[in-house]
Chains A and B, each alone.
Chain A
Amino acid sequence: MTVGESLDGLLRCWWDQHAPGVAARAAIRVVDVEVIRLGRPGLVDVVAEMDGRLGHAVLAIFGPKDRLRLLGTVEEPTLGTVQDADGSGIVADALHDADAVRLLLEAVEGRSPAARPRGRRAVSVVRDDAEAIVLAVDRRVTLTVFPWLARGPHPGMALLAGLDEAGFNHLAAPIAFWRRAGRDLGVVQELLAGASSGWALAMSSLRDLIASGVPPQDAGGDFAAESFALGTMTARMHVALDRAFGRRTGDVVAWVDAVGRGLNAAGPNGRRDAGLLEELRRSGLHPPTIRTHGDFHLGRTARTDHGWVLADSMPGGTAEGSEEPVYRSPLADVADFTRSLHHAAAVAAAERGPVSAHARLGDLAAAWEARNRRAFVAAYLATPGIGGLVPADRRVVRRLLGLFELALAARYRQSPRGAA
């Protein structure tokens, strides 16, 4: 294919599909091109600078008589036409065509082209957004492709690889990482068949509870056993992250100061909060820190037939807007998760109308949150190996959790959008 004006046009078209309205104004600079497959269908992988971001387009070139097997609802399947050594070709986003996806998967997996597996096989779209395009292939694997790339290694991939190498098995095992020039382009993982998100399960439980009107332990949809299992999985994740990336030493005083600043910015503090901060400041603790998940909540987890898994390794232990890993106390992830339980309870209660109008709703939601929080934290602290990462004194653990929850509360007070 002639790289030049024709590629610019194709990329602009691709960009317009992925960031409508921006493409027409900005320049495109091709950074890296790899021809994955010659002939028809051909595959060309392109990384290009687009308005300060690194766009990643996988182009498929079809012959004029080839029939596209489109995935999902694509309004405009083709990006343009090209002329190359194989003659004229129609260019489409490879991730929108089932056959092109198979060919790409073979290339990423490093497998030689094989006949299409017999039996009922298919390609389907699991996720398609700015963060990732995830395709399930033949009920065997998922192929994740990042439409926008990090400058260096993708933090989420680094976290995934680290966890896998450390023996953490609560995840869809990576089969092949797709990398080029120090950048993560995608990953092939085992398919988590039959998975449901933790958020969906928690909401099922809450809806059952609210309809029952009985204490959560007496409701049929009790979630505590699942919370317990999630606590265990979380602790194992932290033990594996410690093994994979090592640990550092934290400074509680610095954490307290940071939280204090956030609280002040968010509004006046209560005396109880001030007391907690003061107690921790006086403690002079230097607990271990590790590369944590960074944004750990119910929606990042999934229930499968084999138990709970970490469904999403993003943001890979980085701070918002950064690609650099941040070392935090593992209890910060725990607080993220308990905050998520709180959020789920609040959302389920709000589905029934204003909590103020139904006093019992608030009680039920609070009871659900308390029960599941207890189960989650109890399992977390009881997991072998976690003792080296959190203080032995449970009072200190409670205070640190309180500190991280205060930080989250301040953050959400400033930004009304909560985490799921």
Chain B
Amino acid sequence: MTSEAAAADSSYDPSDRWFQHAVFYEVLVRGFFDANGDGTGDLPGLRAKLDYLQWLGIDCLWLLPFYPSPLRDGGYDVSDFFNVHPDYGTLGDLVALLEDAHRRGIRVIADLVMNHTSDQHPWFLESRSSRTNPRADWYVWNDDDQRWPEARVVFTDAERSNWTWDDTRKQYYWHRFYSHQPDLNYDNPDVADAMLEVARFWLDLGLDGFRLDAVPYLFQRDGTAGEHLPETHAYIRRLRKHLDAEYPGRVVLAEANGWPADVADYFGTGDECHLCFHFPLMPRLFMAVRRGHRYPVTEILSQTPEIPEGCQWAIFLRNHDELTLEQVTDEERDYLISEYAKDPRMKRHMGIGRRLAPLLDGDRRLAELLYALVLSLPGSPVVYYGDELLMGDNIYLGDRDSVRTPMQWSPDRNGGFSNGDFAQLYLPPLMDPVYGYGAVNVESQMRNPGSFLHWLRGMLLQRRSMPVLGIGKMEVVDCPNPAVLAFVRWGDVAEVPAGSGEGLGSVPVMPVTPAPDGPERARAGEPALAVPDLTVPARTVPARPGEPYGAPTRSQAVLCVHNLSRFAQPALLDLVAWEGRRPVEVLGRVPFPVVGSEPYSLALGPHGFLWFDLTEDADPPEEAPA
């Protein structure tokens, strides 16, 4: 990001560690907004909606794959690593998007599908053509399908083996996912180098980093399950070294679905990935609110190791895949399926193919509680597109398309997503009376100050003033009531002065000429959408030694209390370590009684939550609200 772009938005954190307290927004380009009316979302469409995303208060966009692909697996079957899928636009459209996003203080990362390609990729077509061609060893070939029996089949409902016979080459090829996604052979140094070139290409265009797809599977070794191998970590370290040397401030986020202790290895000693998804937390959040007690969450937190300085977890409620149940016990899986997937059509692979709102039976209060947890637990939150509206899903669509339906912008034709013909749309928008675009859409929620969209925006902006929620220390507060999950996040923070991006984190942006059917056309075609207010508060950031913010630091402590039960609950909190502090409720700035040596007493409504600044000022303001 250029310093000029950075200065344009006071919410921009110029630090290389911006990701530690950022809010990510996961977006399916194909499903977000169709600027050219062909029925498929595209990059100009996304660019046209940046005002909305800036208003919402997100810090970083995560783009699902936008590369050329036969789209047999949502774009994770890449057929050209150096281009944009023609349905989504051009390289120029991407650069224009990056420039506009950066100007708004929004960074952009994208999926990097390292493990495999499409079987239509020229590399694979060449590799399969003979056993002697120059790319013959770019994929993993074998004469029989018996090697590496320890490696599990990931998509058990679609594939029987990790080997598939190729009739051209007369050999089997290795694939950890679908058979049309052959795995690259990272033992071939040319492949390892080629993927670094791919990364360089996109970073040079201005991307702020990558989400590394399916990263545990890069290598295979006899007698192992072919996951989390030392060779994989060595390769990630190599990638990271290039990033740090040539692209400071850019990040890599690992998609490694495993137990926290295993996944934490992908941080290395701070020399591998900047971020890793915390997969096991997500199903346990859903379990905790159904069971009405905190232990599913506190158990997994207690199993989560400390991570190196300069790293961060990425936490989420839902994403583009199924609600994965790999990292739960058999008993927990049965429980979650019985509670959240009562219709067998809701099941996908080893999980549940539903969006947030239908999972919660449309219970807004519960959605607010879950977001409050994701915004306050250690980690950088990732919001899935449409979940800010509590959009629904379509379980009758195949595979994971149930949660990839078009963004609902307005009650107009096609939900305001596209002005193309309905039959052209890549997937039908939701039209049911509960979650359909007539009932749930951006336009109506923006016009309604009491909407979930406004509520979430308020929370995201609030979070910007509380960076300790990102990387502050965390201590669970003892409470005898199992329905209550309370913790304190604390640390030192600093206010970033406006324009402080100058000279920091500067990233070259390629000059670009806007595509002829770029955002201007998109804006002309889109429904009127008044973005009411782009003002965001100044960014408060964690204070880090040696970083020249030029602002004095202060300590910040935030008490977060959540009621996981659907009934009102009392909370007697052991806050004696914070004796003498005055809790001030963060949303209303209402001062509460000073913490004493006795357990601190609170009452919480059903699925309610309260966040407090634990201020050192024991005296309330003179005219404190009643």
Contact = CB atoms under 8 A, between A and B. Distances in A.
B331 A220 contact: no
A221 B478 contact: no
A197 B293 CA distance: 12
Contacts of B578: 120
Interface string B282-305: 000000001111110011011000
Contacts of A303: 293, 295, 482
Contacts of A397: none
B567 A72 contact: no
Contacts of A72: 597-598
B507 to A, nearest CB: 38
A225 B331 contact: yes
A301 to B, nearest CB: 12
B567 A211 contact: yes
B482 A204 contact: yes
A193 interface: yes
B26 interface: no
A408 interface: no
B455 interface: no
Contact of B291 (A197, A207, A221): A221
Interface in A198-255: 200-201, 204-205, 207-208, 211, 218, 220-222, 225
B302 A306 contact: yes
Nearest to A73: B598
Interface string B471-489: 0000110111111000000
B338 interface: yes
Given A121-B577, A124-B576, A194-B476, A200 B292 contact: no
Interface string A178-205: 0000000000000001111100110011
Contacts of A207: 567
A305 B598 contact: no
A178 B111 CA distance: 60
Contact of B478 (A120, A194, A201, A211): A194
A145 interface: no
B290 A218 contact: no
B292 A221 contact: yes
B339 interface: yes
A220 B291 contact: yes
Contacts of B577: 120-122, 139
Nearest to A74: B597
Contacts of B599: 124
B339 A220 contact: yes
A171 interface: no
Contacts of B299: 305-306
Contacts of A120: 475, 577-578
A361 to B, nearest CB: 16
A299 B8 CA distance: 59
Contacts of B483: 204
Given A193-B476, A306-B299, A70 B291 contact: no
A71 B574 CA distance: 12
B187 to A, nearest CB: 41
A13 interface: no
B292 A218 contact: no
B482 A200 contact: yes
Nearest to A208: B292
A208 to B, nearest CB: 5
B302 A305 contact: yes
Contacts of B413: none
B295 A220 contact: no
A157 to B, nearest CB: 24
A196 B481 contact: yes
B292 A197 contact: no
A218 B598 contact: no
Contact of A123 (B295, B481, B482, B576): B576
Contact of A200 (B298, B339, B475, B480): B480
Most buried by A among B299, B301, B577, B597: B597
Contacts of B616: none
A136 interface: yes
A222 B482 contact: no
Given A122-B576, A211-B567, A193 B478 contact: yes
A305 B475 CA distance: 13
Contacts of B478: 136, 193-195
Interface string A110-131: 0000000000111110000000
Contact of B293 (A136, A193, A201, A211): A201
6 contacts: A73-B598, A121-B577, A124-B574, A194-B294, A194-B298, A196-B481
Interface of A: 70-73, 120-124, 136, 139, 193-197, 200-201, 204-205, 207-208, 211, 218, 220-222, 225, 303, 305-306
Given A72-B597, A122-B576, A139-B577, 15 more contacts: A71-B597, A124-B599, A194-B478, A196-B480, A196-B482, A197-B480, A205-B291, A211-B566, A211-B567, A218-B338, A221-B293, A222-B335, A225-B335, A305-B299, A305-B302
Nearest 4 A-B pairs (CB), nearest first?
Answer: A196-B482, A220-B290, A305-B302, A120-B577
